[in-house]
Structure 1
Amino acid sequence: VDKKVRLEVEAQRRKENRAQEPDEIQQARLQEQSLRQQALREEESEEETRARLRDQATRQQAIRNAETDDERRVRMIEDNLRHQVLRAQETVEERMSRSMADRLRHQMYLVEETEEEAEIRRELNREQTANYRAAEIEEEREGRREQSQSRMERLREEREEDEELLRAMNALEHAEIIPLETKEERTFREELLAARNRAGVPRTHRAACKTLASEDRVPLHDCGEMTVTCGECNARHFKGEQPTDKKFTQCCAKGKVILPPPKECPQPLVKLLQNDHQ
């Protein structure tokens, strides 16, 4: 107990001292700390890296489970602002490198996880999304939609810039290769391009637009009948939609969304619906 109290006092004192230090000293300290961590991580083995990442994920998950809804919203807003500042400062090459690293890391994660882990991850994502959107107010919903729209526009602009940079790099490489080719190689390349243009290379979209000669070869896709019923709201689902815990989120979010009972139909409409009119 004494050790825990002492560590808490030291942490509080260290936090107060760092809050009072100038920006230059803080930047130097953070840079030195980053270099020291980078040196330590370069020396660790692959097993140590996985163990460190696993412990870090467990510790971070425990912290996020203990935070309230307001703290979670503040954290998400701060993370979003920090990411926007960092991405606004990076160059096009850094953004391309980051995007490729993110895609590679995500693909490696998806390859390593099992089917059960993937199903659990998708179920947790659906549940978290349903809970978050059920608790948000109209202003937060409008803000989320605006943020999504601005994020999609920013991603579209980044993709266009990346494609333009890639075309420029390809053109530069092509310009470096062309002067090195001999006269015979240039003649062969020009003849090959001319023959290809005369023949007309079939494109994928042209082949896709062709009408099918016979539809017998098209495989039939059958989802089956909606025989599975939700235990909370009695909504019907396909058998393939049933989660592992047999609780659906698409209809009532596992019983969290309760709709009022339908109102009684007026008498003239009741007779019409029951075919009891004259």
Structure 2
Amino acid sequence: MHHAWLLAGPKGVGKGSFARAAALRVLADAAGPRIDLPGLEVPPDHRIARLIEAGSHPDFRLVQREAHETGANKGELRRGIVIDQIRKLQALFQSAPALSDWRVAIIDCMDDLEPQAQQSLLKLLEEPPAKCLLLLVSHVPGRLLPTIRSRCRRLDFATLDEASLDTILRERQPDLTEAARAKLVALAAGSADRALAFAELDLAPLADEALAILGRGDPDNSRRARLASALALKAARPRYTAFLDIVPPLIAAEARRSDGARRARALAAYDQARETAAIAPRLSLDPAATVFGLGTLLASVAEG
């Protein structure tokens, strides 16, 4: 098996879940005895499953953005994955495995790696130890260093179909009505994360406002001003983060429905909205200004 896999595809379609399931199955089989179940299934009471769930498996690491431990931003997530986290990962692969002859790490997600962290990871990819597995999640693999991409096998994940999204919503949000589920599925653009965020964070009113701007414009700036005001406060940060995630797919859907000049405007707005949504959290851009700017991109599609 290749030592590094790039799990690529839209956000919220199961890449991270697949990585966790694959890591668990590899480590459980390696520790023995091999599991007599199909696919990546592992009994939830398996000792390796319990160790990973507790965060105490010595041969496994999950690398994600970490919270600031001190200062004014204490408790908030850092802008990205820093080089020290990758150095700790290197230390894992340089040491002898404890419970089997395999070591596994997940980076979720690669798009969060700071430039120095990417360079540090490259060294590990170039000289991998024996029996190590790196599962690298990326929503936008084109932004990664070409040298990183070239050293990985790529596994692409597609968006989820409507039936799968409806099943997930039934399981995770059983109180939703059939009509509410149908609306969420239509807005989710194939992403389970997006559908659940709509339900859990009450994002439907924000999406309706964005769709109104996209369809009819915003000549007096009132709609985008309301959006900016609603998402500007610190308490609204989860909804703001989710809003960043939902605007590009809304514009993409409009591009698919349109033709001619409107389609060209939608495609141009989509590229800019996707870039804004990607960099805003990492650069700590002002939420109100960012939301207003996204509203302007939405309006540009309608107003031309």
**TM-score bucket of the superposed structures, by smaller chain:** under 0.3
The answer to which structure has the higher helix fraction is 1
The answer to which structure has the higher strand fraction is 2
TM-score w.r.t. the length of structure 1 is: 0.22
Structure of greater Rg: 1
Higher relative contact order (CA 8 A, sep 6+): 2
